[in-house]
A and B are shown apart, each in its own frame.
Chain A
Amino acid sequence: MSAALALADDALVLSHRLGEWAGHAPVLEEEVALANIALDLLGQARSLYSLVGDEDELAYLREERAFRNVQLVEQPNGDFAHTFARQLYFSAYQLPLYRALAATDSDLAPLAAKAAKEVEYHLDHARTWTLRLGDGTEESHARMQRACTALWKFTGELFQPVEGLEADPAALEAEWLVDIREVLERATLTLPDGPRLGGWAAGAGRQGLHTEPFGRMLAEMQHLHRSHPGATW
């Protein structure tokens, strides 16, 4: 598996999930914000796919088992708290990863350097919502805590070694934990203490094993392209 493919699949799948909010976000500003983050991720995915092969074939014509994204990004949107817990966990991983890659001379470096600046805004946005919901009303606090806890088991997979990826997973994980601990504490939330890896945790997306909702997401994402091969407008 190529490292570019794994990172491209992460970006594409999360982009699609965020795009599902279009027309459903609680306020117009958030509608626009989620679409903007989705667009950034889509741009990153396209750039990464171009290092691997044909972007349309890779995005639209692969089966579920061929996707190498982590399971975190394929998790359904859930409520707004769920969407932002997922975004917080992912952006806090993606930012130090891209920064590390930007400092290498790998073929991922140019994209990583550029995308890191975009992800700064994603992480900032996710942090803000985590604080607002966590330190908000009783209801918002409960929902944010529930979301952070529910997605916790998907976070260990982020730091599994990926072949060809020039970044130290242990260093990334240490930075991620410091970051997440600090945000959750400020948001009056409790850092979940369940397992993040092993038998009771999730995580084999990089090996092509995905959770049940992913197949349905792919079916919707790929349906148009598969029904009308080569269609243009």
Chain B
Amino acid sequence: MVTGARPAPSPTPSPTEPGAGETALERELRRLAGAVPDPELPVVSLAELGVLRDVRVEYAGDGHRAVRVELTPTYTGCPAIETMATDIEQVLHTHGERDVSVVTVLSPPWSTDDISAEGRRKLDESGIAPPRPRGADGTVALSLAIRCPHCGSTATELLSRFSSTACKALRRCTACGEPFDHFKEL
């Protein structure tokens, strides 16, 4: 996605859980990439959003070092993914990594459950109601009310299932009257 950034010669899928068997360099690069803010919701980082899947460093026979980053989109059509990839490349280039490639992976599909507790807190703080946890079968318990991020009331109503971005729904608080975005469960 950036000139000069070529995929690693023979990329192999990481056989283990992300983070397993990670080197100190990989950990550092993962921290840097994960700290990149989401382009649409800059209050949360990519790590908090749960879209950074893996960071691997691969060495070719001649000692050439390539960094391979795996990102997963929130929605398949999310246009922010290209900006995320460019931002990550830039950060890692600045850190001295010359060969960085960012690839998109779809499996397993991203879920709003991948947003960290800290990410949820920051969303709420910035006026976006965080998603509710999904059950093992993917359903959301109806009894879990969506709380107004402005006044805290649970008396809120749906205005539209679709809002300013694909990942949000538009709601209104019937207590304070303010409309707000809700990060809808996926």
Q: Which residues of A contact B (CB under 8 A)?
A: 29-30, 32-33, 35-37, 39-44, 46-47, 109-111, 113-115, 117-118, 121, 124-125
Contacts and interface: CB of A to CB of B under 8 A. Distances in A.
A44 B76 contact: yes
B108 A124 contact: no
Contact of B77 (A42, A117, A124): A42
Interface of B: 73, 75-79, 105-111, 138, 159-166, 170, 184, 186
B55 to A, nearest CB: 20
Contact of B106 (A39, A40, A111, A121): A111
A41 B166 CA distance: 11
A114 B51 CA distance: 14
A77 to B, nearest CB: 17
Nearest to B134: A117
Classify the secondary structure of B's interface with A: loop
A111 B76 contact: yes
B186 A117 contact: yes
A33 B160 contact: yes
B83 to A, nearest CB: 15
Contacts of B165: 36
A125 B161 contact: yes
| 9 residue pairs, one from A and one from B, having the closest CB atoms | A43-B77, A43-B76, A110-B107, A29-B160, A114-B109, A33-B162, A36-B162, A110-B106, A39-B77
Contacts of B107: 109-110, 113-114
15 contacts: A29-B170, A32-B163, A32-B170, A33-B161, A42-B77, A43-B78, A47-B76, A109-B107, A110-B107, A110-B109, A113-B106, A113-B109, A114-B106, A114-B109, A117-B138
B87 to A, nearest CB: 19
Contact of B76 (A35, A36, A37, A114): A114
A46 B109 CA distance: 16
B73 A43 contact: yes
Given A43-B77, A111-B76, A125 B162 contact: yes
A25 to B, nearest CB: 11
Contact of A124 (B106, B111, B161, B186): B161
